[in-house]
């Protein structure tokens, strides 16, 4: 049995999460529900749950505030439930924390619950929430960190600033890093593509993406780029002009 | 009488015949009772002494020296200082009275001596001694009056300082003959005076012409010509005598005649002549070598003129004649050579012809006059006599002056012609220039026109482009804002939360509620999509929209909020139009903030529409939340995490103001700032009626 708490400012939302867990996840037992951050924190401290379903935005704060108030004292896994993820997507994804979108679909819920259950049972303790809170408190995206799970189940923490390039390799993603060996992430390339593009990354061909600030040199006919990881990458011809324009704007 | 006339004729025209008469010397003229002469050559009776002596006393020794007498002018080459002695012995019983005439001399002193008595001076006269007004006829014929049976010795002291001595022949006249001699000589002098008058008149006319011409046309050759004529005028004026040797003008200073005699010739016929030739023929350009020669010779002649004057002032009267003689002889051949050279050099030049003819006239006249006088007077004497010009010489001078004047006139004509031609050329060129200018102007105008049109066209194009660009930009911005508005207004949170609620109702099998929720939600989405494409909607549409939206929000929050929309009954909501999607963000904000006030269990939201002026609609959105000031302070989230609905709405209002030239004003008031106990935000939106 896994003890769980639901924190959401809308009653309808709390009700549907509870209803769905009751129907599809018999292993999870809802011990308490809260309508705002303050109540949430006190409920957690009271019940010591293993799993907390957290709404992101509440009248008196955010889900991150709840984590910040409880995690130093307790250890639990958190799953964010939100209607609209855009604002905090980077903070959540970079720290490899689970996220469920409203309206909740059964498969998403089950996948997240299964993953969490596995984590709890295997006692796998990656510093997810530490990174999450650190990024949350950090204003500048270039100072952010990222938790990477590689294909061997090992995690490593990297600075976003150190990422030189990404490459799609067999449904996984190869990370080229500045002054570090490459890492192959379990996540697919497209997972990162939508995540990184807003952060001054640029897809130079079908399988590769670079961080613009990591460019060391572009050759005279603009077809090859030397990255600060030491790798020489090809750029698709039709993207050359676009890239130069983007660099000019910076 | 016949004899006398013949004698006079002989004296004047064949004076040389006398020189050959050999007479026996007789010491004393004895006048007995039979002695009666009309005119008598006294050479045999006159003894001479040329030894230097006291001016007041005659020398001791007198000799018979007939060679010092001459009946035509003669150049002595030195001062002639001589004494003549005549002893008259009257043996008759009557007194004798005669006139003794020895010629025209510079200084003459007349003495007489009775036997055994001292010498007494009777008179002192002479060309250089007498002042104006003195009747020289009376002075120069000395009285010889010897009483009966007496002997008187007469002395005549003659000093001639000038180079040319007038005829020196002692003649005895009785009163009657002297009178007729006087008349004849006066006639001939008057003839010459008339000629000189005429000549002077002509020269004055030439002078005037040249001066006038110079004023009209400042040409140096006129100045030289005028100076030449002036020199001649002075030269002849000095000779203008009403009676023989009686100067009319310059008797006050008779020396002036000598000063100007030779220097005048040098000045007129050499210095001015050369300078005139130089400028008149424009030798500097035509014949530079000749110009140099002329200039140098002129300079030398100038020096000689000064030298002559110095000599005259030092009473060395013979020196100028010698100098002139050398100049004359030395320049005869070179002048001829110059004439030939000039003639050859510029044969066809009319000015040279004038110059040459003039020069040749004078040259030939001068030569002729000289040759005519060489025979009777000897070389030097003839030379000296050139200063007392003969008719031939005067004619030559006149001819030369006329030729020169004619040349000057011709030169004037040439200058005039040249000027006319130049003017014509200039006018032609000017016309050409004008034509060219006109053409250029036309071209320029055309060019300017073209360019102006081009510039205008380009400007227009540019303006159009800018307009298009501006419009596109506006459109783009508007589209962007519209898109953002859609996104802002259909707050994803709201949408998904609504869907979440519907999902719950479905799962709870509360289908009635789910259906109501779903239809309201659908209406809202439809209207949102519709309005975001329009700029204006009616107020009634807006009210319905807001009602639906607020109903859904109320359902979401389980009646933790209440709302009210109050419309001024005066407002015709169906007709009044307001900008679409302007209010919604403020309303949503009010809902959100109205429920975050811990002191208020229920969020109170009120919306008023008031007609505050005939053309002004006021929309008031009031909540009882914590207020915008505290809300802002509470926000600790990083900037990029913040919502921008209200900001978009503000931009939209500005854009609408710009596009439709209206003035939508948005005022946000925090209630707590006015009253501490109160809380909440009031948003006032003023919408002018279009």
CA-based nearest distance A18→chain B, Å: 10
Q: For chain A, list residues whose CB is within 8 angstroms of any CB belonging to chain B.
A: 10-13, 15-16, 19-20, 57, 59-60, 62, 83-84, 86-88, 101-104, 139
Q: Answer whether B506 touches A (CB < 8 Å).
A: no
CB of A63 within 8 A of CB of A55?
Answer: yes
pLDDT digits (tens, 9 = 90+) for B479-537: 666 656 555 556 777 888 888 888 888 888 888 888 888 999 999 888 888 887 777 88
For residue A170, what are its two tokens? 């067999």
Contacts 24+ apart (CB under 8 A), A177-183: A177/A229, A178/A214, A178/A228, A178/A229, A179/A229, A183/A148, A183/A150, A183/A156, A183/A158
**CB proximity B559 to A under 8 Å:** no
Q: Where are the domains of chain B?
A: 2-173, 185-425, 534-688
pLDDT of residue B644: 55
Taking Cα atoms as reference points, which of B40, B34, B28 lies closest to residue B92?
A: B34
Q: Which residues in chain B touch residue A16, judged by CB atoms under 8 angstroms apart? A: 500, 503-504, 507
Ordered by start, the domain boundaries in chain A are: 2-135, 140-249
Q: Does B492 touch chain A (CB under 8 A)?
A: yes
The CATH number fitting domain A140-249, selected from 2.40.50.1020, 2.40.50.100, 3.40.30.10, 2.60.40.10: 2.40.50.1020
**pLDDT for B13:** 47
Q: What is the pLDDT of residue B639?
A: 42
Question: Nearest CB to B507: which of A13, A16, A87?
Answer: A16
Q: What is the pLDDT of residue A78?
A: 92
Distance from C-alpha of B210 to C-alpha of B468, rounded to nearest angstrom: 86
C-alpha distances (whole Å) from A89 to each of B190, B359, B623, B637, B641 are 147, 126, 31, 14, 11
Is the CB of residue B77 less than 8 Å from the CB of residue B318?
yes
- The pLDDT averaged over each successive group of 10 residues in chain B (690 residues) is 48 44 70 78 83 72 81 73 86 84 85 85 80 70 85 87 77 85 80 83 90 85 88 82 63 72 83 86 82 89 90 79 80 84 76 84 82 69 61 83 86 84 89 91 91 90 88 75 59 82 86 88 87 81 91 81 89 85 83 76 88 89 82 56 60 74 84 78 86
Q: In 10 A of CB A159, how many CB atoms? A: 14
Given this model, what pLDDT does residue B18 score?
A: 43
| H/E stretch holding B4 | helix B2-13
Q: Which CATH superfamily is domain A2-135 in?
A: Response regulator (3.40.50.2300)
Q: Which of A83, A86, A88 sits opposite B497 (nearest CB)?
A: A83
Q: What backbone phi and psi angles, to 5 degrees, belong to B459?
A: -60, -45
| Residue A125 three-state SS | coil
> What is the model's pLDDT at position A52?
94
Q: Which of A10, A19, A87 sits opposite B507 (nearest CB)?
A: A19
CA B210 to chain centre: 25
Six token digits for residue B386 = 């050139």
Q: Is B215 on the interface with A (CB under 8 A)?
A: no
Global ipTM: 0.76
What tens digit of pLDDT does each residue of A99-134 get?
998 888 889 899 999 988 888 888 767 888 888 888
Residues belonging to chain A:
250
- Chain B residues with CB inside 8 Å of A103's CB? 496, 499-500, 502-503
A/B interface, count of CB pairs below 8 Å: 59
Please give the Cα distance from B392 to B369 (Å, whole number). Answer: 6
> What chain B residue is nearest to A139 in terms of C-alpha separation?
B638
Interstrand relation of B96-101 and A145-149 (parallel, antiparallel or unpaired): unpaired
Confidence at residue B303, expressed as pLDDT on a 0 to 100 scale: 92
Under DSSP, the state recorded for B33 is T
Q: Report whether B611 contacts B570 (CB < 8 A).
A: yes
CB A44 within 8 A of CB A52: yes
Q: Are strands B47-49 and B80-90 parallel, antiparallel or unpaired?
A: antiparallel
Query: Residues near B551 by Cβ (< 8 Å), separated by ≥ 6?
Result: B520
Nearest CA in chain B to A84: B493
Asked if residue A43 has pLDDT above 90, the reply is: yes
Per-residue pLDDT tens digits for A146-190: 988 888 888 889 998 899 999 999 889 999 998 888 999 988 998
Using CA atoms, how far apart are residues B592 and B584, in angstroms rounded to an integer?
12
What was the pLDDT predicted at B222? 87
pLDDT for position A220: 81
Please tell me the distance in Å from A56's CA to the nearest CA on chain B.
11
Per-residue buried b or exposed e for B169-201, using 16+ beta carbons within 10 Å of the residue's own CB? bbbbbbeebbebbbeebeeebeebbeebeebbe
Give the whole-angstrom CA distance, residue B165 versus residue B167: 6
d(CA B587, CA B621): 7
CA distances from B472 to B228, B467, B476, B478, B659 (A): 98, 8, 6, 9, 13
Torsion of Cα atoms, B172 then B177 then B181 then B186, to 10°? 130
pLDDT of residue B547: 92
Tell me A141's DSSP state: G
Q: Report long-range pairs for B200-205 (Cβ below 8 Å, ≥24 apart).
A: B200/B233, B200/B236, B200/B237, B200/B240, B202/B398, B202/B401, B203/B229, B203/B232, B203/B233, B203/B236, B203/B401, B204/B233
pLDDT of residue A167: 93
More confident residue, B502 or A5: A5
pLDDT digits (tens, 9 = 90+) for B284-330: 887 888 888 889 989 999 999 999 888 888 877 777 877 887 888 88
Question: So what's the architecture of B2-173 in CATH?
Answer: Sandwich (2.60)
Would you call B71 helix, strand, or coil by DSSP? Answer: coil
**What span, in angstroms and rounded, lies between the C-alpha atoms of B360 and A10?**
144
Q: Does domain B534-688 have CATH number 2.70.40.10?
A: no
Same fold, B2-173 and B534-688: no
Alpha-carbon Rg for chain A, nearest whole angstrom, is: 20
Question: What is the fold, at CATH topology level, of the domain defined by B185-425?
Answer: Rhopdopsin 7-helix transmembrane proteins (1.20.1070)
CA distance A59 to B597: 9
Q: How far is A15 from chain B (nearest CA, A)?
A: 7
Instruction: For chain B, give the number of residues.
Output: 690
CA-based nearest residue in chain A for residue B556: A10
- Chain B residues whose CB is inside 8 A of the A139 CB are 638-639
pLDDT confidence of residue B10: 44
């Amino acid at each position: 049995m896994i003890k769980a708490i639901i924190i959401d400012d809308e009653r309808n939302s709390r009700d549907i999460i509870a209803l769905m867990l009751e129907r599809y996840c018999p292993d999870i037992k809802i011990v308490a529900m809260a309508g705002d951050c303050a109540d949430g924190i006190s409920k957690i401290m009271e019940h010591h749950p293993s799993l907390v379903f957290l709404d992101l935005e509440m009248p008196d704060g955010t889900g991150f505030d709840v984590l910040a108030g409880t995690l130093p004292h307790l250890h639990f896994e958190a799953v964010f439930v939100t209607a609209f993820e855009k604002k905090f997507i980077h903070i959540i994804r970079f720290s490899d924390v689970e996220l469920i979108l409203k309206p909740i679909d059964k498969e998403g819920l089950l996948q997240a619950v299964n993953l969490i259950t596995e984590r709890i049972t295997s006692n796998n303790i990656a510093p997810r929430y530490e990174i999450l809170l650190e990024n949350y408190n950090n204003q500048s995206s270039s100072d952010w960190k990222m938790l990477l799970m590689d294909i061997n189940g090992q995690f490593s923490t990297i600075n976003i600033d150190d990422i030189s390039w990404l490459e799609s390799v067999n449904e996984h993603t190869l990370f080229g890093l500045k002054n570090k060996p490459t890492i192959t992430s379990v996540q697919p390339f497209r997972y990162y593509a939508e995540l990184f593009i807003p952060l001054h990354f640029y897809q130079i061909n079908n399988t590769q993406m670079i961080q613009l600030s990591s460019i060391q040199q572009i050759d005279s006919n603009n077809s090859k780029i030397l990255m600060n990881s030491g790798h020489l990458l090809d750029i698709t011809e039709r993207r050359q002009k676009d890239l130069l324009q983007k660099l000019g704007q910076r | 009488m016949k004899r006398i006339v013949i004698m006079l004729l002989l004296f004047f025209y064949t004076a040389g015949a006398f020189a050959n008469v050999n007479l026996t010397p007789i010491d004393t003229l004895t006048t007995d009772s039979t002695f009666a002469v009309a005119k008598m050559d006294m050479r045999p009776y006159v003894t001479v002494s040329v030894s230097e002596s006291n001016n007041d006393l005659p020398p001791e020794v007198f000799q018979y020296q007939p060679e010092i007498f001459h009946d035509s002018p003669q150049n002595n080459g030195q001062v002639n200082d001589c004494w003549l002695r005549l002893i008259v012995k009257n043996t008759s019983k009557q007194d004798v009275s005669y006139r003794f005439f020895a010629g025209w001399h510079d200084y003459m002193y007349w003495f007489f001596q009775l036997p055994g008595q001292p010498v007494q001076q009777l008179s002192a006269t002479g060309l250089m001694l007498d002042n104006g007004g003195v009747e020289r006829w009376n002075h120069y014929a000395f009285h010889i009056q010897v009483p009966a049976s007496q002997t008187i010795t007469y002395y005549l002291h003659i000093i001639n300082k000038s180079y040319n001595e007038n005829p020196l022949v002692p003649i005895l006249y009785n009163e009657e003959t002297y009178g007729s001699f006087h008349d004849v000589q006066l006639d001939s002098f008057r003839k010459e005076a008339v000629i000189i008058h005429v000549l002077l008149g002509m020269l004055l006319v030439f002078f005037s012409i040249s001066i006038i011409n110079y004023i009209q046309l400042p040409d140096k050759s006129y100045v030289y010509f005028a100076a030449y004529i002036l020199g001649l005028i002075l030269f002849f004026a000095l000779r203008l005598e009403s009676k023989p040797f009686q100067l009319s003008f310059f008797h006050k200073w008779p020396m002036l005649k000598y000063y100007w005699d030779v220097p005048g010739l040098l000045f007129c016929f050499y210095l001015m002549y050369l300078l005139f030739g130089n400028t008149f023929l424009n030798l500097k350009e035509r014949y530079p070598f000749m110009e140099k020669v002329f200039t140098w010779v002129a300079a030398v002649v100038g020096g000689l003129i000064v030298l002559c004057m110095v000599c005259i002032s030092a009473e060395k009267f013979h020196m100028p004649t010698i100098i002139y003689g050398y100049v004359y002889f030395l320049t005869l051949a070179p002048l001829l050579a110059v004439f030939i050279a000039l003639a050859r050099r510029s044969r066809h030049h009319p000015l040279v012809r004038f110059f040459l003819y003039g020069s040749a006239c004078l040259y030939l006249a001068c030569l002729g006059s000289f040759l005519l006088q060489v025979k009777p007077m000897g070389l030097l004497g003839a030379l000296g006599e050139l200063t007392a010009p003969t008719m031939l010489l005067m004619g030559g001078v006149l001819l030369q002056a006329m030729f020169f004047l004619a040349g000057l006139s011709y030169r004037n004509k040439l200058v005039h012609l040249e000027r006319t031609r130049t003017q014509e050329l200039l006018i032609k060129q000017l016309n050409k220039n004008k034509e060219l200018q006109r053409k250029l102007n036309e071209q320029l105008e055309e060019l300017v026109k073209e360019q102006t049109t081009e510039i205008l066209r380009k400007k227009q194009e540019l303006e159009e482009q800018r307009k298009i660009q501006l419009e596109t930009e506006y459109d783009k911005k508007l589209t962007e804002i519209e898109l953002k508005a859609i996104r802002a207004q259909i707050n994803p949170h709201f949408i998904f939360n609504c869907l979440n609620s519907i999902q719950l109702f479905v799962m709870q099998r509360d289908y009635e509620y789910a259906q109501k929720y779903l239809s309201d939600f659908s209406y809202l989405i439809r209207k949102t999509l519709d309005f975001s494409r329009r700029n204006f909607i009616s107020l009634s549409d807006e009210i319905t929209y807001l009602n639906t939206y607020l109903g859904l929000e109320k359902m979401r929050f389980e009646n933790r909020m209440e709302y009210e929309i109050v419309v001024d009954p005066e407002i015709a909501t169906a007709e009044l139009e307001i900008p679409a999607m302007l209010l919604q963000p403020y309303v949503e904000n009010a809902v959100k903030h109205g429920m975050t006030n811990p002191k208020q269990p229920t969020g109170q939201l009120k919306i008023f529409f008031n007609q505050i002026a005939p053309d002004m609609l006021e929309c008031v959105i009031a909540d009882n939340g914590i207020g915008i000031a505290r809300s802002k302070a509470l926000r600790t989230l990083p900037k990029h995490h913040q919502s921008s609905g209200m900001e978009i709405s503000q931009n939209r209002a500005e854009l609408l103001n710009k596009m439709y030239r209206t003035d939508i004003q948005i005022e946000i008031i925090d209630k707590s700032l006015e009253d501490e106990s109160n809380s909440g935000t009031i948003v006032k939106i003023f919408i002018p009626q279009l």
